[in-house]
Amino acid sequence: MKIVVAGTGYVGLVTGACFAAKGHHVSCVDIDNKKVTLLKAGISPIFEPGLEELLVNNMKRLDFTTEYKEAYKDADIIFIGVGTPEKQDGSANLSYVYSVAEQIAESIEKDCVVVVKSTVPIGTNDKIEDLIKSRLVNDINVCVASNPEFLAQGTAVNDTLRPSRIVVGVEEPFAAEVLKMVYKDFNAPILVTNRKSAEMIKYASNDFLALKISFINEIANLCENIGADIEDVALGMGYDGRIGNRFLKAGIGYGGSCFPKDTKALHWLANFHDNELKTVKAAIDVNESQKLKLIKKSRKYFDSFNGLNVAILGLTFKPGTDDLREAPTLVNIPIMIEDGANIKAWDPVGVENFKKKFPDKITYCNTIEDTIKDSDVCFIFTEWDEVKDFNLLKYNELMKTPIVLDGRNCYDLISAKKAHIIYDSIGRETVNTFEVSLV
């Protein structure tokens, strides 16, 4: 069976590599020449733990190309894993998906199953099938199946090799049989449903997780005001199996390439059908204001950033990835820069991507120590292990004023109290033992 994957981003590349690891031969197509050149040399263009190793170990079953016609013409199954970013109005931009569909139609020379892995609004698979059928150059059969992807960046390889479930949305049983063959060694439950339900499972899953995060963040904000501790509250809630303990971590909101756009896209679609989703709207609204929570907190300590030395720990939207899409730093740092802050920043893998957006207004440091040295305030935006394991005493030792604003609750309050710092985190009491150290 010849498998082709269109798109070598976080989803397409990981999918292709994992199929190869399970013994399939896979051609990966991308329009980005630079990516394909790197991949041919066994270098991953993205940071994803375990991915490069997987690519190198399975090179003999993987090839990479920009020549889509060659790749698609004799494929048995083509997975579409290209981006579906957000449009200005919140709806999903499907131009990349439709463009692949057109390329497939003009290239395929034999019967083929086209599988949509990209997250697409409900009803899009139907449109893709109509589009391909209307543009076919050769007299062949093609059917479209939905197979949404649930991987999370930072754990994408493991998530793909050991999925919680495989969702297959089909209108023809034959397509389900083909997909069951592809996934026969993945040892996961396979749910076969119709295409629209499969598309909806993806949005409903992501939007539910986003809602869980926004819910705990709202509770955290209330905890702060009334003297409860969100870490204990979340722990106590999480013991209840009906609630579960994951995605109950309070912080400065979700980011990344999925939750923000998938909440907005479903909300847009629901409104289009005159059926507003009030819970999804709430998740979006809470997240928007939560992103700026640390800036709001900082006003307790100073009116302006003008002339302040600001240390930033963590640039990416979460640990384990170099992806900056919708990272809270992208809205917070410009506010500080505009206000006249002198910024030093550290991130173990995100600096190169950040430099492309902010090449000169930030001093990038190689260590946390260099970043916080002589700073007036430190912002923690990403809970990297290096930050969590950092010796808290050093904030007092190295900073000019040891004000640490932690958007990810990296430290326990007892340690913070012993560190003689001002430590302001999310949904917990503010620790101020800095004065104590001066006595």
Catalytic residue positions, numbered: 258
Asked whether position 7 contacts ligand NAD by CB under 6 A, the answer is yes
Query: Out of 118, 214, 290, 298, which residue is the one contacting ligand NAD (CB under 6 A)?
Result: 118
Residue range at the interface with ligand NAD (CB under 6 A); choices 8-16, 180-188, 298-306, 341-349: 8-16
Contact 302, 341 (CB under 8 A): no
Report which secondary-structure segment, H or E, holds 3. strand 2-6
- Given 3, 10, 160, 269, the residue binding ligand NAD (CB under 6 A): 10
- Is 100 a binding residue for ligand NAD by CB under 6 A? The answer is yes
Q: Where are the alpha helices (DSSP H) in 310-392?
A: 329-338, 351-357, 368-372, 385-388
Compute how many residues bind ligand NAD; rule: CB under 6 A.
27
Strand order in the sheet with 309-313: 362-364, 342-346, 309-313, 377-380, 403-406, 422-424, 431-432
The answer to whether 261 and 92 have CB atoms below 8 angstroms apart is yes
CB of 435 to ligand NAD, least distance (A): 44
Contacts (CB under 6 A) with ligand NAD, residues 237-296: 257-258
Instruction: Characterize 158-184 residue by residue with b for buried, 16 or more Cβ atoms within 10 angstroms of its Cβ, and e for exposed.
Output: ebbbebeebbbbbbeeebbebbeebbe
- 348: three-class secondary structure by DSSP: coil
Q: Based on CB atoms, which residue is closest to ligand NAD, 149 or 347? A: 149
Closest approach of Cβ 59 to ligand NAD, in Å? 19
407 near ligand NAD, rule: CB under 6 A: no
Check residue 214 for interaction with ligand NAD (CB under 6 A).
no
Looking at beta carbons only, is 34 or 273 nearer to ligand NAD? 34
The reply on whether position 8 binds ligand NAD by CB under 6 A is yes
Distance of CA 4 to the CA centre of its chain: 24
Which residues contact residue 386 at a Cβ distance below 8 angstroms, ignoring those fewer than 6 apart? 348, 368
Classify burial at 362, counting beta carbons within 10 Å of its beta carbon; exposed 0-12, middle 13-18, buried 19 or more: buried
Residue given tokens 């197979």 in the structure block? 147
Measured from the CB atom, is 153 or 214 closer to ligand NAD? 153
In whole angstroms, give the CA distance from residue 334 to residue 320.
24
Is the CB of 9 or the CB of 163 nearer to ligand NAD?
Answer: 9
Q: Pattern 139-158, binding to ligand NAD, x per CB under 6 A?
A: ----------x-x-x-----
CB of 13 to ligand NAD, least distance (A): 7
Q: What is the smallest separation between the CB atom of 200 and ligand NAD, expressed in angstroms?
A: 14
What is the full DSSP assignment across 226-276?
Answer: HT--HHHHHHHHHTSTTT-STT---SS---SSSHHHHHHHHHHHHHHTT--
Measured at the CA of 274, the angle between CA 270 and CA 280, to 5 degrees, comes to 35
**Interaction of residue 9 with ligand NAD, rule CB under 6 A:** yes
56's tokens: 């190198």
Least Å distance between CB 258 and ligand NAD?
A: 5
Quick one: which segment of 1-9, 107-115, 244-252, 329-337 binds ligand NAD (CB under 6 A)? 1-9
Q: Which of 243, 242, 247 is nearest to 214 (CA)?
A: 247
Q: Any contact of residue 316 with ligand NAD (CB under 6 A)?
A: no
Of the pair 2, 361, the CB lying nearest ligand NAD is at 2
Span interacting with ligand NAD, options 98-106, 227-235, 312-320, 398-406, rule CB under 6 A: 98-106
Q: Which range touches ligand NAD (CB under 6 A), out of 96-104, 125-133, 188-196, 402-410?
A: 96-104
Site string for ligand NAD, 322-361 (x = CB under 6 A): ----------------------------------------
- DSSP result, 121-136: -TTHHHHHHHHHHHH-
Binds ligand NAD (CB under 6 A): choice among 27, 44, 58, 84: 84
Least distance between ligand NAD and beta carbon 222 (Å):
30
Nearest distance from residue 37's CB to ligand NAD, in Å? Answer: 13
Asked if 195 contacts 142 with a C-beta cutoff of 8 angstroms, the reply is no
CA distances to 51, 199, 265, 434 from 116, rounded to whole Å, are 22, 9, 17, 55
Q: Is-contact 82 149, C-beta < 8 A?
A: no
Residue 64 or 423 having the CB closest to ligand NAD: 64
Work out whether 199 is an interface residue with ligand NAD (CB under 6 A): no
CA–CA distances in Å: residue 430 to residues 185, 286, 295, 384, 425: 51, 22, 15, 22, 7
Q: In angstroms, rounded to a whole number, what is the distance separating the alpha carbons of residues 91 and 151?
A: 22
Answer yes or no whether residue 31 interacts with ligand NAD by CB under 6 A: yes
Kindly list the residues in this chain that would bind ligand NAD in the complex (CB under 6 A): 6-12, 29-32, 35, 81-84, 96, 99-100, 103, 118-119, 149, 151, 153, 257-258
